[in-house]
Amino acid sequence: MLLTGKTVIVTGAGGGLGAGIAAVCSREGANVVVADIRGQAARDVADSLPGDALAVHCDVGDDGAQAELVQNAVAAFGRVDGLVNNAGINFAKPFLETTAADWEHIIRVDLRAVFFLTQKVCRQILTQSPGGGSVVNIASVHAHAAMPGAGPYDAAKAGVVMMGKSFALEMAPHNIRVNAISPGLLDTQIWQDLQDAAPSPEECLDFWRTNIPIGRVIAPEEIGELAAFLLSDRSASITGANIYADGGMTAQLISQEPYTSKPIEG
């Protein structure tokens, strides 16, 4: 197994992509810290995992909650070896209607939280023996190309990629690797939000099928497989990378939706 003996924190793991990542990490032998602002959802996921797991109620946008998350992980398992910054908020709203509150809300969770939780985890790893660790940041195809109405989200995800490159350079001498995964359209709540915002689920599905070369949305566990590899020692030479796991979306030009969707405010 790829992660035997390692302790991995996964944020936003109370459902969707985070739950899929947590499941794969647990299957691969990790002690998994399931962190989510939805406390009961985190507990449900932790209880479902095959290996040792800890559920932690955590608002990743809160610095104190971040510190408690790391402390709880160390108290339970003695160390932290990996972090998956998965927690995030989706957003779609016309540029001219986007408010300062919208901006602050998205940046707080999707960008600022990644910076400061990564900082706390890296500080913890530096105190450990043996040292070394791995951070995986969940970015998005939005880090590569934009869609109308997604300005704050686009900015946050592009920022996650570039911050990660900076972290990777600084942490490389300490054997801490930092990489990003940029998923395409996933079978999570975001996919449900897109269908709900469209005139009909059928029109939404037809549109996306024509714009994803593999012809389908991606299962969370597929991203989990990649995350587990990047957290493992088998990826020891990979740092500062951003890997697109998008079914080919960014390899082609994507047309705009042939319909008008309702706002999505997270």
pLDDT mean over 95-120: 98
Q: What is the mean pLDDT of the chain?
A: 94
pLDDT mean over 235-242: 98
Interval 93-103: pLDDT, tens: 999 999 999 99
User: In the structure, what pLDDT confidence band is assigned to residue 261 with cuts at 50, 70 and 90?
Assistant: confident
User: In the structure, what pLDDT confidence band is assigned to residue 255 with cuts at 50, 70 and 90?
Assistant: low
Out of 43-57, 174-188, 206-220, pick the least confident: 206-220
Task: Read off the DSSP letter of residue 2.
Answer: T
Per-residue pLDDT at 177: 98
More confident residue, 65 or 253: 65
Predicted TM-score of the model (pTM): 0.92
pLDDT mean over 14-32: 98
Per-residue pLDDT at 194: 81
pLDDT mean over 119-125: 98
Contact by Cβ (8 Å): 180, 161? yes
CATH number of the structural domain 7-251: 3.40.50.720
Number of C-alpha atoms within 13 angstroms, CB side, residue 250?
16
Per-residue pLDDT at 180: 98
Per-residue pLDDT at 254: 62
Whether the per-residue pLDDT at 125 is higher than 80: the answer is yes
Whether the per-residue pLDDT at 257 is higher than 70: the answer is no
Highest mean pLDDT: which range of 205-209, 221-225, 251-255: 221-225
Closest of 178, 177, 181, 100 to residue 140, by C-alpha: 181
The whole-angstrom separation of Cα 39 and Cα 132 is 30
Domain boundaries, the chain: 7-251
Whether the per-residue pLDDT at 256 is higher than 70: the answer is no
Whole-number percent of the chain with pLDDT over 90: 80
Task: For residue 172, give the amino acid letter.
Answer: A
Residue tagged active-site, from 91, 153, 207, 244: 153
Cβ neighbours around 257 below 10 Å, total: 18
Interval 30-77: pLDDT, tens: 999 999 999 999 999 999 999 999 999 999 999 999 999 999 999 999
**Known active-site residue 259:** no
Whether the per-residue pLDDT at 231 is higher than 80: the answer is yes
Burial code (b: 16+ CB inside 10 Å, e: under 16) for 93-107 equals beeeebeeebeebbb
